Amino acid sequence: MLLKREGFPGEDDLVFCVVTSVQSHSVFVRLEEYGISGMIHISEVAPGRIRNIRDYVVENKPIVCKVIGVNSERGHVDLSLRRVTESQRRAKVNDVKQEQKAEKIVELVAKQLAMPAQDLYAQVLEKVSDKFSSVFEAFMAVAKGDVMISELKLPKQASDALEEAVMQRIKPPVVELKGSLSLTSYSADGVSIIKEALKQVLHEGASILYAGGGTYILKVTAENYKSAEQVIGKASSAALKFIESKGGEGKFARAVK
């Protein structure tokens, strides 16, 4: 990893490690983000009695640990494997994978610029650390258009090359929600009323597909489920409110995946 944090992690921090040595009653690891060593006592490897410690850890394999003790004067970091939940492990591994993706982009650009990747990464990290928790988070903000690459205030040649690489290699996540909207009007100009009701849907940012029999499919795409839920909720509510205000009726049902 290009990322090298200074100092020591804090207690209860989750750290990404690689097993370097397995002893009868302890495991030694390298904390990849810090470039330092740590130790897991056998009692912190797994709950219950352990007959063979190698059933749980193997040399050169990555693991996620929780920091349970730090002695910075002696350079000791005590870790626990058993105190890390599965959801915590998945989240940490995902964070590491994302940052490694950002590092690959930096390495690619550094090669184009004929400069050490570590130097370019350090420059980028310094510029983004005030606003973002990681280089990947900053690159994602650039890919989504929330931040202009020029705001990082890097040398122009590096800035232009990074922007091109980020836009090619990082795609913002997209969530899609669908629902079925049924509209009925008993008015003489019912067709016009339904058209106006559907305009409310479009106004709120949802798309419409006619499914037949007075039923329409509403579709919303967004960066996350919360945003998608808000849009499809407002769109369906606006259409139902309008049709009911004109003496008609309607019904909306979320599509089940």
Q: What is the DSSP string of 176-221?
A: EEEEEEEEE--STTHHHHHHHHHHHHHHTT-EEEEEETTEEEEEEE
In a domain, 24, yes or no: yes
Q: Rounded to two decimals, what is the model's pTM?
A: 0.67
| Same domain? 155 vs 179 | no
Question: What is the model's pLDDT at position 183?
Answer: 95
What are residue 25's phi and psi, to 5 degrees? -130, 15
pLDDT value of residue 173: 80
150 domain-assigned: yes
**How far is it, in rounded angstroms, from Cα 120 to Cα 136?**
14
Q: Where residue 53 sits, what CATH number does that domain have? A: 2.40.50.140
The answer to whether residues 94 and 165 belong to one domain is yes
Indicate whether 8 belongs to any domain. Answer: no
2, pLDDT greater than 80: no
pLDDT of residue 256: 66
| Residues in contact with 107: Cβ distance below 8 Å, sequence separation at least 6, in sequence order | 2, 117
Between CA 163 and CA 168 the distance in angstroms is 9
CB atoms within 10 A of CB 167: 14
Its domain, for residue 38, covers 14-83
The answer to whether the CB of 253 falls within 8 A of the CB of 217 is no
Tens of pLDDT along 208-238? Answer: 999 988 899 999 988 788 888 999 999 999 9
Is the pLDDT at 172 greater than 90, yes or no?
no
Domain count for the chain, please give it. Answer: 3
Pairwise CA distance, residues 74 & 71, whole Å: 6
Does some domain include residue 3?
Answer: no
Looking at the structure, do residues 68 and 23 belong to the same domain, yes or no? Answer: yes
Q: Are residues 120 and 79 in the same domain?
A: no
Q: What is the pLDDT of residues 16-68, one digit of tens each?
A: 999 999 999 999 999 999 999 999 999 999 999 999 999 999 999 999 999 99
Instruction: Look at residue 145 and give its three-state secondary structure.
Output: coil
Residue 4 in any domain: the answer is no
List Cβ neighbours of 233 (8 Å cut-off, separation of 6 or more): none
Helix (H) / strand (E) element for 107: namely helix 86-112
| Spatial distance between the Cα atoms of 254 and 232, rounded to a whole number of angstroms | 9
Q: Does 247 lie in the same domain as 185?
A: yes
Last residue of a domain, one of 169, 197, 215: 169
pLDDT at 150: 87
Which residue, of 83, 102, 121, is where some domain finishes?
83
Distance CA 140, CA 172 (A): 7
Mean pLDDT of 239-257: 90
SS3 62: strand
Tokens of 104: 């690959």
Domain-located, residue 108: yes
Q: Is the pLDDT of residue 257 over 70?
A: no
Distance CA 3, CA 177 (A): 37
